[in-house]
C-alpha cells in the first residue's frame, strides 16, 4: 500500500518537478547565451574603436602632415572614444584589465604623439588587437 501512495504522489508531483527543472535549466541557458552575445558585442566594439582611433591618429598625427583644428578635433575625438570604450565595458572588463589594455593603448598613443614612430605604433596596435582577439576566442564557448 505505501508503494501505491508513493507512486500516486509522484504521478501528481513528477510533472511539476520536471516543468520546474526544465524552466530553470532553460532560463540558465538563455542567460548564458545573453552573456556570450554581450561579450561578443563588446569585443567587436573595443576592436572597432581602437582600429578607428589607430587609423585616425596615424592619418592626422604622422610627422610632416599639416593638420588644422578640425583634423586635430577628429583625432582627439577618436582617441577619446577608444579610451572610453576600453574603460566602460561591463562583460569583458576583467579580461581587458588582465590584458592591461587601456594602459597599453594610452601608452602607445602618447608615445606616438611624442615620437611619431609609426612602425612602433603599428606594432603596438597590432599586438594589442591580437591579444584582445586571442582572449575573445579563448573565452567564447565553441559552437
Domain membership of residue 6 (yes or no) is no
List pLDDT tens digits, range 23-38: 566 667 888 899 999 9
Number of domains the chain is built from: 1
- Asked whether residue 31 is assigned to any structural domain, the reply reads no
Angstrom distance (rounded) from CA 41 to CA 142: 16
Q: Is 19 part of a structural domain of the chain?
A: no
Q: Please tell me the distance from the alpha carbon of residue 53 to that of residue 108, in angstroms, as a whole number.
A: 12
Residues 96-118 pLDDT 10s? 999 999 999 999 999 999 998 99
Identify the weakest region by mean pLDDT among 4-18, 95-109, 125-139. Answer: 4-18
With respect to residue 1, please indicate whether it lies within any of the assigned structural domains.
Answer: no
The Cα 13–Cα 31 span in angstroms is 27
The reported pTM is 0.78
Within a domain: residue 71?
A: yes
Residue 109 covered by a domain: yes
**What's phi and psi for 134, nearest 5 deg?**
-60, -45
Helix count and strand count (H, E) for the chain: 5, 0
Q: Which grid cell is 41?
A: 558585442
- Residue numbers of the domain that contains 113: 38-139
Amino acid at each position: 500500500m505505501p508503494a501505491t501512495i508513493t507512486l500516486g504522489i509522484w504521478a501528481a508531483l513528477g510533472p511539476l518537478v520536471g516543468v520546474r527543472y526544465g524552466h530553470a535549466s532553460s532560463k540558465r541557458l538563455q542567460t548564458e547565451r545573453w552573456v556570450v552575445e554581450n561579450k561578443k558585442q563588446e569585443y567587436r566594439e573595443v576592436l572597432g574603436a581602437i582600429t578607428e582611433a589607430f587609423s585616425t591618429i596615424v592619418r592626422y598625427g604622422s610627422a610632416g602632415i599639416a593638420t588644422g583644428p578640425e583634423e586635430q578635433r577628429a583625432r582627439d575625438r577618436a582617441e577619446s572614444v577608444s579610451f572610453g570604450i576600453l574603460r566602460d565595458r561591463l562583460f569583458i572588463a576583467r579580461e581587458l584589465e588582465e590584458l592591461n589594455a587601456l594602459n597599453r593603448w594610452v601608452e602607445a598613443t602618447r608615445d606616438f604623439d611624442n615620437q611619431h614612430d609609426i612602425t612602433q605604433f603599428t606594432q603596438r596596435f597590432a599586438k594589442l588587437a591580437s591579444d584582445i582577439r586571442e582572449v575573445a576566442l579563448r573565452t567564447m564557448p565553441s559552437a
